Amino acid sequence: MRRKYQLLMIEKIRNNKQLGSIGIFDSGVGGLSILKEIRNLLPHYDYLYLGDNARAPYGTRSFDSVYQYTLEAVTWMFGMGCPLVILACNTASAKALRTIQQKDLAKIASNNRVLGVIRPTTESISQYTKSRHIGILATSGTVKSDSYLIEIARYSPDIQIVQQACPMWVPLIENNEHLSEGGFFFIEKYIRQILLKDDKIDALLLACTHYPLLIPAISSIIPPHIRLISQGTLVAEKLKDYLLRHSDIEQRCSKGNLVRYFTTEDKNDFSEKARLFMDEPVAAQTIQLSRLDNSTGCKD
Ligand code: DGL
């Protein structure tokens, strides 16, 4: 039964020629920091945001789980008509993007596209450092993947990088504890750790979409010569450029200034948290993602 449903869904995605929203996916609410900047720059498009809050955080999950969950989310978003999905989650971009682009897309929707947030960030990062020493703050999963080291070495091989995993930050934000005294303790802890690793750092990259909510606290800790880089504007600029260069995809993106929000968890809880990021009321809907069998051919 499940297999029949999956085949029907894949058939529906393949035949879809209609206009659709740009999909923005994250493990939780963090990707809203990316959506916000994309909307500021490209307000006329429609957007569909999905947060997999029921299974967040992704940062401490295995490679295979993040890949499987991300593939389920992307398949659902294609089913909702999105011609283009942005993985607004560093962990999903690090662990799932390449396999989905190289193996799954051809099977589920070869005309659609999936993009991540790591490439657009690393392409632009060079302009933020004079000392050529950068610190990367990210989830354990992103740090372990070494994606930032690999990508930065490709575009700016002269830059020295140190990384710091910050496993407590996403749970603090998801539970709205990041402004508490206990929250500040963990913010300070990881910042001190990364600064001890390299005293020449003059830029710190917030390589997790949740972290922009910590900017006021981090700014109060770091020396004034260190720049904090968040990804939202970088990703938005690169998306604008991508749409200019790919008119086939751009023409399939609907333009009605509409944003729809979906979560795999409680919709009221999501809406409440989302308000913190978007600075406006958010009305989310709850959905369930279907597990994909290996037998669909979507997974190797
Ligand atoms: N927001 C995601 C990122 O950018 C990760 C959060 C999580 O651990 O789920 O990496």
**pLDDT of 275 over the 60 cut:** yes
* Ligand 1: centre distance to CA 105 (Å): 23
Higher pLDDT, 291 or 88: 88
* pLDDT tens figures, 121-144: 999 999 999 999 999 999 999 999
Average pLDDT, the chain: 92
Domain 2-116+234-299 shares a fold with domain 119-231: yes
Would you say 21 and 47 are in contact if contact means Cβ atoms under 8 Å apart?
A: yes
Catalytic (active site) residue 166: no
At 176 the pLDDT is 86
Domain ranges of the chain: 2-116+234-299, 119-231
Topology, domain 119-231: Rossmann fold (3.40.50)
**pLDDT of 49 over the 70 cut:** yes
At 149 the pLDDT is 96
* Ligand 1: centre distance to CA 34 (Å): 12
Select from 24, 25, 27 the residue to mutate for testing ligand 1; criterion: most ligand atoms less than 8 Å from CB. Answer: 27
Would you say 38 and 121 are in contact if contact means Cβ atoms under 8 Å apart?
A: no
Catalytic (active site) residue 89: yes
Atom of ligand 1 nearest to the CA of 56: 9
Q: What is the mean pLDDT of residues 36-64?
A: 95
Select from 140, 173, 209, 213 the residue to mutate for testing ligand 1; criterion: most ligand atoms less than 8 Å from CB. Answer: 209
**pLDDT of 14 over the 60 cut:** no
Residues with CB under 6 A from ligand 1: 26-28, 30, 56-59, 89-91, 139, 142, 170, 208-210
* pLDDT tens figures, 161-213: 999 999 999 999 888 899 999 999 999 999 999 999 999 999 999 999 999 99
Q: What percent of the chain lies above the pLDDT cut of 70?
A: 92
Which residue out of 166, 208, 253, 298 is catalytically annotated?
A: 208
Cβ-Cβ contacts under 8 Å for 71 (sequence gap 6 or more): 96, 100, 104, 292, 298, 299
Categorize the per-residue pLDDT at 7 as very low, low, confident or very high, splitting at 50, 70 and 90: low
> Does 2-116+234-299 carry CATH code 3.40.50.1860?
yes
At 174 the pLDDT is 82
At 295 the pLDDT is 37
At 213 the pLDDT is 93
